Structure 1
Amino acid sequence: MARILLVDDEKIARTLYGDYLTAVGHTVTAVATLQDARQALAMDRFDAVVTDLILPGGDGMEVLRSVREHHPGVEVVVITALDKVDPAVRAIKSGAAEYLVKPVAPEALQHAVRRALTTRDLMQENASLRRHVALLEAGQRLATTLDREKLATATTGALESMAAASAVVLLERDANLGLRAQGTRGLPQGMEDALVSWLRDQLQEARAPRELEVLDAPFDRVLSFPAVEGESVLGHAVLCYKGPGTEWATEAASYLVRNWTLALRNLDRFAAVEDLAYVDDLTRLFNTRYLHLVLDREVRDALQTQRPFSLLFLDLDHFKSINDTHGHLVGSKVLVETARVVKGCVRDHDVVARYGGDEYVVMLRGTDSGGALKVAERIRRTMETHQFLAREGLSLKLSTCIGVASFPEHARDKATLLDLSDRAMYRGKRGTRNVVYMAAQDLEAPPAARRQGGSGAA
């Protein structure tokens, strides 16, 4: 049954009402004053309070207000000898569950307390249901998010609000960099780098939820929840608490992290599908569809930052003779090996795309025309000296013409940059070949047939 605090300054009333309530199984603590009631509430947990309206040193309304402010979930039944409507209305408006007028029959008091406890249980069940519904909706939102930055923002926000965390850190596992911070929330200024570094060391091999030992931190508890998919750990959600936290917080965090894990898995699958759409089937370089997307973004960013970038337009010299002499299968292998050679001459964050046939385009980020000329010459020399298909006993020799155009020196839009780099490359095709040319406004345009069908015959 329930634990009841009985507040009445009359000893007979305390004894009588206490007997009424213990008779039906409740545990009763009886006090006589407002101060005693406050001390009892501070020291123990109660399910309901039964209080007289008139008390020495205060009144039952102050008991009611104190319970509402400091002890939510505890119901209050008010008893008074005043047979008037106003006090009853005032008590009910202030949050009293029941209002009884003395003398109070045993059945009336027992029934009033039972109804108050039933109301409390229903309110708690409703609150729990609302929390679970909100948690379910939050989990669904996370699981269906296919944008990595939005997912990090939504996940840290949900963990902070629904798991009542003081601060949140999301770490995702990168194949090359290990654990890296993908999102943070609520960390004190200047603390993020040190905490993230410490967490990386703590969680490198972790595969199960754990509490981390807190050292010199403004938090009392630090809990980590791994995002586990099969045998893989995709990341960790770390929740920091100023205080002990609650069982519900742990339950909410576990559920939200499961949905975060599902979203991370979906993102990886979505990225794989995107790769199929943006990767050339033969060379595994990016295709023209991706090249146009990244160029649109690079031009937009460069117009704001005025940071240069450059395009290299490559075309293989006399590639048709390789197809005619050795067949198209060997020609395809040469194209694949060319892709590897070109990628080996540029940085990881530069973009190499197969433009069509035996044409390739390289986008050099943050590189002006002078730097682009050096990279183009490095590619030209490497191609010239490389022995293609040496492992297959062919050791074919191949050269390339390269055209260079830079933003903002030669053009400030994608179409013109591509056109100028193509014209510069074509100038080399019409001359000595195996050469690098810089873009210029007066260069001859390539024939329309070559533009439409690629330069496999060149």
Structure 2
Amino acid sequence: MKPRILIVDDDRLFLEQCLDMLVDLDVELLIASSGKEALEITTEKKVDLIILDLVLKDMNGEEILETIKKKNTDIDFIIVTGYATVESVIKLMKKGIFDFIKKPLIPEEFKFSILKCLKQREIIKENKKLKEYLFLYDLGKIITSSLELSKVYDNILIALSNYLPDSGIIIYNADITDYLEVKAFSGFDRNQMIELKDKIIEFINTNLSNRKDSEILNFSTENLKNNVSLKYNNFSVIPFENISEKKGYIFVFTNDISLEKQEGLKFLQKHIKLGIENALTFINAQELAYIDDLTKAYNIRYLFVSLDNELKRAERFGTNVSVLFIDLDFFKRVNDQYGHLVGSKLLIEFTNEIKKCVRGIDTVIRYGGDEFIVICTETDVELAKKVAERLRKRTEECEFLKKDGYSIHITCSIGIATYPIHGTTKTELIELADKAMYRGKELSRNIVCVAEKG
């Protein structure tokens, strides 16, 4: 786009002379014959340079300078006048004018001053762009600096908060299932997140879930149904896909975002996708060490990693986590009657039955032998009891290994402990759920028991 120059003078002859002098410059020329007209033009259009006479009929040139500078410090000024003292020139220089030229104008001097100003602006603009690119590059490095997924989410918050100060950011992702959940956030307190969480999921399902592209979209906060109380006017949605082709979204709430900043978000979007993909690839490699060879459920090594993460998340969002401790009743009889190979096949089938009774976001773990643990995220005691009872009943009614020519009936006993009602550490919850399960064994077996409050 050509540089835009505004010439402000109430002398029509002078305006025509200026236009004649500058006709061969590759610029867009505008004229204003009053201070009021000059203020209107600078409000409506982007102006790079103003050539301003100090003495106008309706306004003082110095007053025009101060008014425009308050609104836009990026505009340069060249003052032209036939009336000036050394003191007035020094005063104007201190107010940030680029140059001062005395009337009558010498064409070569006038053009040289304008070209010098435009060249300086071009250099400053290029320097700003270079600084912006280096800044974005450094932010991209922050995002991709870790292979730990939770750390990647935190790094995304750090990068975006640095790029858009005073913004609110929420990261939604589906790591394994299609269930979207909040992974990290900043700029909101816990109560605001509780209020926002479901509204945003509803917005995603209505406006984003069917989109195939990865374009960054901008919306007004009025688009959130039953508009929650927000200090932000707008939000941008940065979509991304991980290696499992699961959709994720980053919501960036702001009051104003320029076109330049939107371009910067596109650059950071690529690093966000790369950072999450790298972390998930690393997790997939790690999980090979966390999988039980027989049942393909998670093993005990993963129990403490997963439960620790869930407890941290529950503490952050003020939600519950329930631990189900499951033990098959009289499983030894199966091994004694049918042999260990059949017993192993039954454990595989039982693991699949557990997975049918819980959600994709819950974690199924083989604790050892015929003992299993399920970590139920965002699950209170009542919901945990329903899940456990569903599993108990399904196990009781199931004919195991029917396809293999057997029809084995077996039951299970289940103990429940819930954070933070029964315990606040992973060790407490596992031990309390274990004790509740053994209490059920002593009572009758084939039962669900909840941990006793301390």
TM-score (norm 1): 0.67
2:48 aligns with 47
Structure 2 counterpart of 1:206, from 203, 211, 217: 211
Q: CA deviation at 1:288?
A: 1.9
Distance 1:232 1:47, change over 3 A: same
Q: Is the 8 A contact 2:243 2:280 kept in 1?
A: no
Give the residue type in structure 2 aligned to 1:21.
Answer: L
Q: Is the 8 A contact 2:32 2:38 kept in 1?
A: yes
1:451 aligns with none
Distance 1:115 1:338, change over 3 A: same
Mapped to 1, the partners of 2:302 and 2:254 lie a distance apart of: 44
SS of the counterpart of 2:80? Answer: strand
Mapped to 1, the partners of 2:388 and 2:306 lie a distance apart of: 20
Give the residue type in structure 2 aligned to 1:287.
Answer: N
1:19 aligns with 20
Mapped to 2, the partners of 1:367 and 1:324 lie a distance apart of: 37
Mapped to 2, the partners of 1:89 and 1:299 lie a distance apart of: 66
SS of the counterpart of 2:327? Answer: strand
Q: CA deviation at 1:307?
A: 7.9
Mapped to 2, the partners of 1:199 and 1:121 lie a distance apart of: 42
Superposed, 1:257-276 pairs within 5 Å as: 257-273=269-285, 275-276=287-288
Tell whether 2:113 aligns with 1:101.
no
* Long gaps (5+) in structure 2: 225-231
Superposed, 1:398-437 pairs within 5 Å as: 402=413, 404=415
Tell whether 2:111 aligns with 1:110.
yes
Q: What is the count of residue pairs matched by the alignment? A: 429
Distance 1:168 1:8, change over 3 A: same
Superposed, 1:127-166 pairs within 5 Å as: 127-144=128-145, 146-147=149-150, 150=154, 153=157, 157=161, 161=164
Q: Report % sequence identity.
A: 23
Mapped to 2, the partners of 1:59 and 1:49 lie a distance apart of: 15
Bigger drift between 199-208 and 431-440 goes to 431-440
Distance 1:82 1:286, change over 3 A: same
Q: Is the 8 A contact 2:7 2:31 kept in 1?
A: yes
1:120 aligns with 121
Q: Is the 8 A contact 1:222 1:238 kept in 2?
A: yes
Give the residue type in structure 2 aligned to 1:340.
Answer: N
Distance 1:377 1:170, change over 3 A: closer
Distance 1:258 1:185, change over 3 A: farther
CA offset digits 1:246-294 (Å, max 9, x no partner): 6435423433333333344345435434543443232122322333455
CA offset digits 1:403-444 (Å, max 9, x no partner): 858679998876577668768988999x99977798999xxx
Q: CA deviation at 1:38?
A: 3.0
Give the residue type in structure 2 aligned to 1:393.
Answer: G
Q: CA deviation at 1:48?
A: 1.9
SS of the counterpart of 1:119? Answer: helix
2:202 aligns with 197
Mapped to 2, the partners of 1:158 and 1:345 lie a distance apart of: 44
Q: CA deviation at 1:96?
A: 0.8
Superposed, 1:154-193 pairs within 5 Å as: 157=161, 161=164, 172=173
Q: CA deviation at 1:114?
A: 0.9
Mapped to 1, the partners of 2:203 and 2:135 lie a distance apart of: 33
Mapped to 1, the partners of 2:311 and 2:368 lie a distance apart of: 22
Q: CA deviation at 1:228?
A: 4.7
2:38 aligns with 37
2:369 aligns with 357
1:322 aligns with 335
Tell whether 2:83 aligns with 1:76.
no
CA offset digits 1:339-392 (Å, max 9, x no partner): 334555677776543222344345686449x969x958974x866775443322
Q: CA deviation at 1:313?
A: 5.7
Q: Is the 8 A contact 1:206 1:226 kept in 2?
A: no
Q: CA deviation at 1:112?
A: 0.8
Q: Is the 8 A contact 1:423 1:439 kept in 2?
A: no
2:227 aligns with none
| Larger-Rg structure | 1
Distance 1:323 1:91, change over 3 A: farther
Give the residue type in structure 2 aligned to 1:126.
Answer: N
1:227 aligns with 240
TM-score (norm 2): 0.67
Q: Is the 8 A contact 2:34 2:57 kept in 1?
A: yes
Bigger drift between 266-275 and 60-69 goes to 266-275
Q: CA deviation at 1:172?
A: 4.7
CA offset digits 1:307-326 (Å, max 9, x no partner): 89676462664649838964
Distance 1:107 1:231, change over 3 A: farther
Distance 1:33 1:317, change over 3 A: closer
Distance 1:28 1:378, change over 3 A: closer
2:88 aligns with 87
Q: Is the 8 A contact 1:170 1:236 kept in 2?
A: yes
2:264 aligns with 252
Cα RMSD of the aligned pairs, angstroms, is: 5.6
Q: Is the 8 A contact 2:11 2:33 kept in 1?
A: yes
Distance 1:126 1:144, change over 3 A: same
